[in-house]
């Protein structure tokens, strides 16, 4: 056991930071030190922002998004197309799509994907509420914006089956060559999916 170089308060800060995605013990120590050095301009405001977030953040009971209001800002936004729901695995995917500005619809956050390996079954996901929302006559299309992984695609098939009786248009994101991508660098799966999903030019 290496000897601790700092008091328990600092050790605790490092241990908590090390739990963040992308931060190991080494970068957690660097982050902690940076916070401590910038106590007034960074540590204080960050602690306050975290306290407020912990207090006020709620999960939207309609779509599963996280926000400080219920229903969330997106669900309350009357300028959004009510005929389309974009299905995503996680809030991070919702944020990514919002950053792209590609779609002005509402979302539905599944909260994961089906996985036999991790024991994730349909009842663990936000599917029932999706079927409920999709049953609204205003809804015409569900866009499956799920990851192009085996579990993501298994989930896409399951959700499609669960929605089939509603007779909606169900679409999924195109699979293919990324913008700026060079064919030589693509894996075979991406390349063959791109050929299969080719469009008229």
Where on the chain is the footprint of Zn ion (CB under 5 A)?
60, 62-63, 65, 71-72, 75
Residues near 54 by beta carbon (within 8 Å), at least 6 away in sequence: none
Please give the Cα distance from 137 to 148 (Å, whole number): 29
Give the DSSP H or E segment for 44.
helix 44-56
Please give the Cα distance from 127 to 100 (Å, whole number): 25
Give the DSSP H or E segment for 108.
strand 105-109
Six-digit token pair at 168? 């909606």
Exposure b/e, 92-122, CB count within 10 A at least 16 = b = ebbeebeeeeeeebbbbbbbebbbeeeebee
Please give the Cα distance from 121 to 68 (Å, whole number): 29
In angstroms, give the least distance from the CB of 125 to Zn ion.
16
């Amino acid at each position: 056991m290496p000897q601790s170089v700092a008091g328990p308060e600092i050790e605790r800060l490092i241990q908590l930071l090390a739990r963040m995605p992308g931060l190991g013990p080494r970068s957690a120590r660097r982050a902690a030190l940076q916070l401590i050095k910038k106590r007034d301009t960074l540590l204080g405001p960050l602690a306050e922002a975290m306290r407020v977030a912990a207090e006020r953040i709620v999960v939207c009971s309609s779509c599963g998004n996280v926000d400080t209001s219920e229903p969330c800002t997106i669900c309350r936004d009357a300028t959004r197309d009510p005929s389309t729901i974009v299905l995503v695995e996680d809030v991070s995917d919702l944020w990514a799509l919002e950053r792209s500005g590609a779609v002005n619809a509402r979302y539905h956050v599944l909260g994961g994907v089906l996985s036999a390996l991790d024991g994730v079954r349909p009842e663990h996901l936000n599917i029932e509420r999706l079927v409920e929302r999709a049953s609204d006559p205003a809804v015409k299309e569900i866009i499956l914006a799920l990851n192009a992984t085996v579990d993501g695609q298994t989930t896409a098939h399951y959700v499609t089956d669960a929605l089939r009786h509603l007779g909606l248009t169900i679409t999924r994101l195109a699979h293919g060559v990324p913008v700026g991508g060079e064919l030589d660098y693509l894996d075979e799966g991406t390349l063959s999916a791109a050929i299969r999903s080719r469009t008229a030019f």
